[in-house]
Homo-oligomer: A and B are copies of this chain.
Amino acid sequence: MKIIKTVEEMRQYSRQCRQRGLRLACVPTMGYLHEGHASLISAARHSHDEVVTSIFVNPTQFGPHEDFERYPRDFDRDHRVVDQAGGTVIFAPSVDEMYPLGASTSIAVRGVSEPFEGAFRPGHFTGVATIVARLLLAIEPDAAFFGAKDFQQTLVIRRMVHDLGIASDVIVLSTIREADGLAKSSRNVYLTADQRHRATALYRALRAAEDAIHDGAYQKQIIDNAMHDVLRSVDGIEIDYASAADASTLATPDIFEAGARIVCLIAVRLGSTRLIDNMEFTIGMKA
CB-CB under 8 A from A112, the residues of chain B are 104
Q: For A10, give the chain B residue with the smallest CB separation.
A: B165
Asked if A208 is at the interface of the complex by the 8 Å CB criterion, the answer is no
Determine if A105 and B105 form an interchain contact, defined as CB atoms under 8 angstroms apart. no
CB-CB under 8 A from A11, the residues of chain B are 165, 167
CB-CB under 8 A from A167, the residues of chain B are 11, 137
Asked if A111 is at the interface of the complex by the 8 Å CB criterion, the answer is yes
Asked if A107 is at the interface of the complex by the 8 Å CB criterion, the answer is yes
Distance from A90 Cβ to chain B, minimum over Cβ atoms (Å): 18
Distance from A107 Cβ to chain B, minimum over Cβ atoms (Å): 5
Q: Copies of this chain, how many?
A: 2
Asked if A103 is at the interface of the complex by the 8 Å CB criterion, the answer is yes
Asked if A81 is at the interface of the complex by the 8 Å CB criterion, the answer is no
Determine if B110 and A163 form an interchain contact, defined as CB atoms under 8 angstroms apart. no
Determine if B105 and A160 form an interchain contact, defined as CB atoms under 8 angstroms apart. yes
Mask of A158-177 contacts with B, CB within 8 angstroms, 1/0: 01101111110000000000
Asked if A101 is at the interface of the complex by the 8 Å CB criterion, the answer is yes
Distance from A103 Cβ to chain B, minimum over Cβ atoms (Å): 7
Determine if A107 and B105 form an interchain contact, defined as CB atoms under 8 angstroms apart. yes
Q: Which of A145-188 contact B (CB under 8 A)?
A: 159-160, 162-167
Q: Which of A97-130 contact B (CB under 8 A)?
A: 99-101, 103-112, 129-130
Determine if A134 and B103 form an interchain contact, defined as CB atoms under 8 angstroms apart. no
A235 to B129, CA, bound (A): 49
Determine if B129 and A164 form an interchain contact, defined as CB atoms under 8 angstroms apart. no
Distance from A128 Cβ to chain B, minimum over Cβ atoms (Å): 12
Q: For A108, give the chain B residue with the smallest CB separation.
A: B106
CB-CB under 8 A from A109, the residues of chain B are 104-105
Q: For A126, give the chain B residue with the smallest CB separation.
A: B108
CB-CB under 8 A from A166, the residues of chain B are 137
Determine if A137 and B108 form an interchain contact, defined as CB atoms under 8 angstroms apart. no
Asked if A4 is at the interface of the complex by the 8 Å CB criterion, the answer is no
Asked if A7 is at the interface of the complex by the 8 Å CB criterion, the answer is yes
Which of A106, A111, A112 has the most chain B CB atoms closer than 10 A to its own CB? Answer: A106
Asked if A276 is at the interface of the complex by the 8 Å CB criterion, the answer is no
Asked if A275 is at the interface of the complex by the 8 Å CB criterion, the answer is no
Determine if A105 and B103 form an interchain contact, defined as CB atoms under 8 angstroms apart. no
Determine if B110 and A107 form an interchain contact, defined as CB atoms under 8 angstroms apart. no
CB-CB under 8 A from A138, the residues of chain B are 165
Asked if A133 is at the interface of the complex by the 8 Å CB criterion, the answer is yes
CB-CB under 8 A from A107, the residues of chain B are 105-108, 164
Determine if A104 and B163 form an interchain contact, defined as CB atoms under 8 angstroms apart. yes
- 6 closest cross-chain pairs (CB), A and B: A105-B163, A104-B110, A104-B111, A105-B109, A105-B160, A137-B165
